[in-house]
Structure 1
Amino acid sequence: MHIDILTLFPEMFYGVMESSILKKAADKDQFSYQLVDFRHYSTQKHKKVDDYPYGGGAGMVLTPQPVFDAVEAVKKERTSRPRVVLMCPQGEPYTQKKAEELAQEEHLIFICGHYEGYDERIREHLVTDEISIGDYVLTGGELGAMVVVDSVVRLLPEALGNEASAKQDSFSTGLLEHPHYTRPADFRGMKAPEVLLSGNHANIEAWRRKESLRRTAERRPDLLENQPLDTTDKEILQELKNDEK
């Protein structure tokens, strides 16, 4: 996978892209990336990339020319057809399912806006996806792009070193992840569940499934609405409800 990130502040990405899983994945050539300052593509004398909105209003709007030219330039560097992702509060809410979808692509281009917004022609004629990481306002799209890139790259083969890790994460199964424990088994009188020390893998998996269902029901019951549940899952949820009475 190759990722191009169009931003006016490429320096914001240095710490994130050069640390932890992202750095290891890049070092192992599991993905490559390029930070593109689209200000360099401006044809304005002073490399201006924004202007006042037609009709008046507060704030400045990113003009189409630098963004179009930057996207067209990075497209020419690759043979695969890219997904062009616009980070914006009007985009679809970001989910693990979307991360898994994007992780299948060979080339991703992220556009990080700033100021009041984008010229609508960018949205209508350039991008394939619009993504929002939440119902709140950030100064720009950079932080959102970092979140999406991290969640996508960790799904690439061998990025985590253990492929099962990503599959067991919260939301990957549609449920929240079960609790974890490690040594010591008894820490200041707080003990790890006996079943996890038993060595009985069938019982351990059953406990983890039950606790995953319990945690989801308590913290994110909305996730259960569209979750395919088998008879055992339904019995567990009913049991948990009965215990609350």
Structure 2
Amino acid sequence: MPSSVDVEVLTAVFQVRECAESGHTLHVLLSRPSPDEAWRLPGGRIGDTDTLPRSAQRHLSEQAGLTRVAHLEQLSMLSEPDRVPRTRTIASTFLGLVPRDIPADPATESAAWFDVDAPPPLAYDHGDIVDLARQRLAGKLSYTNIAFALAPGTFSMSELAEIYGAALGYPVDATNLLRILSRRGVVVATGTVGRTGRTGGRPPSLYAFADNRLRVTDEFATLRPPL
């Protein structure tokens, strides 16, 4: 039996970011203590006076300069005895989401955003945590309004469909998405229009989420990949 057990918090923070080569893609925030160490999820030991969520937020601020997270929820507890060499370490993991229109470039050189489909080698079991967080996000997109934490304050339905597609990993039809979310009362029309696209045409109608707090919208509904 180990003489002591450490407790740490780790947070998989996602943001949909637009890349010139691949369009809208889901990115995860990673950090590393030094250039010769592996990339990892932001986190560390829980403070003596911290709650778990407060500790997660503190490490995000200290390691990446990230002070605004639209949604933060506990993901899992990891207690495998050998998940970290030398010292037994139990991890409380979290899922965090940052809206697309919030500037979230890391304030330090020791942190960076990476495409979740092309991350660098990660320390310990952090890759498994990223996968679990992505699965949780995809699942909740089907029956909650959690996309409010990824979307800008106002958006066209084509932009929201790109955000859903980036998070789910497959294309989402904007017309069908509008029908589903309107029926559930998730999004509302703002009565305003956005900029005309590069190809011209009618300016797109803009929408907003009805709520900025997580709620279940249809406990039996599921967004599935196209057949």
| TM-score over 0.5 for the pair | no
* Bigger helix fraction: 1
Q: If each structure's strand is expressed as a fraction of its own residues, which one has the higher value?
A: 2
Decide which structure has the larger Cα Rg and report it: 1
- What is the TM-score with the length of structure 1 in the denominator? 0.26
